[in-house]
Structure 1
């Protein structure tokens, strides 16, 4: 069965998942995650990608990004993945593939699903049992959105900024949003869309993406 064609149109947010080959560990210590973060910062500018949310787990990463050109995302992920793999192989005296083939991605509907997807990403460490509270995990965007921490490679999305015009109120409301129960079935929907490469959004969004790019359910 032929694999689904990757569609990465400019201007539309996308949820991206990159896994270690055979679920192997990709980040063993602080320096590994810091190095990956540095590559995110470097190549987002070079390849014109806005990074809205992220989490660096032990054996995979999640990103919520908006590419500025139709080729930005693929070039960005290739650059980050290759440079980090070179670093990792050199540091741990290994060779071979670090990442599991192509990264997974899906288009995200800003009207109804963007913040749900952002929350899903930032709660990954909690659901994995690594921490009890999202704010306790250093390597995600939650502290930026929930407490106003600044990051060199963070570009807040308008969906988040429009949560409330007053920053202190926006931070508090976002913390409350993340702490509230997610709609039933939303996590499975987010996970499936990214893995299958389908659109994440309403029926109208699916129809619009299918008409424009051939991407649907």
Structure 2
């Protein structure tokens, strides 16, 4: 069950939310992904000359729910700011999926989220580690409306530095690169991820070539 209630304020939209996830099959981690999360989020943007400044901040608290045998509490934090300079783009943020006591599935979990969008494209944190994860990231990019026959061209790069929330150990670093353009009705994307492991998982490199065609 999901519920969101929002208010418009002078500095952005303030939302209160509740996510109640009941994984009622024993085969799904023995009910250990059943959780209740309650939080708030503020997101807004403002034109600054020809540029656009945007920001978001969020906090949530998650705990066990229904038949989850784990008794835990874990916090989520996010602070993010970005500026679009009518071509070049810059951004930075800090996201924390907190831990409780270091037991598996007692850190802040997002079992129904589109995890590919967060914590790097190498997919090392699709399940939050027992000690949680802190993600300090910075991004840059550039957009062009048209270059020759290519339209909506976009280049971007994101750097992640990952640490554990509990005990603050360095997990590893990741660089993600994306090149994308539209040719007629086809959008072509070339994506690359490079995860350099320290104390979590293994070194991983991934490369994707993707074509999306619109009717």
TM-score using structure 2 length: 0.25
Bigger fraction of residues in strand: 2
Larger Rg: 2
Q: Which has the higher contact order (CA 8 A, sep 6+)?
A: 1
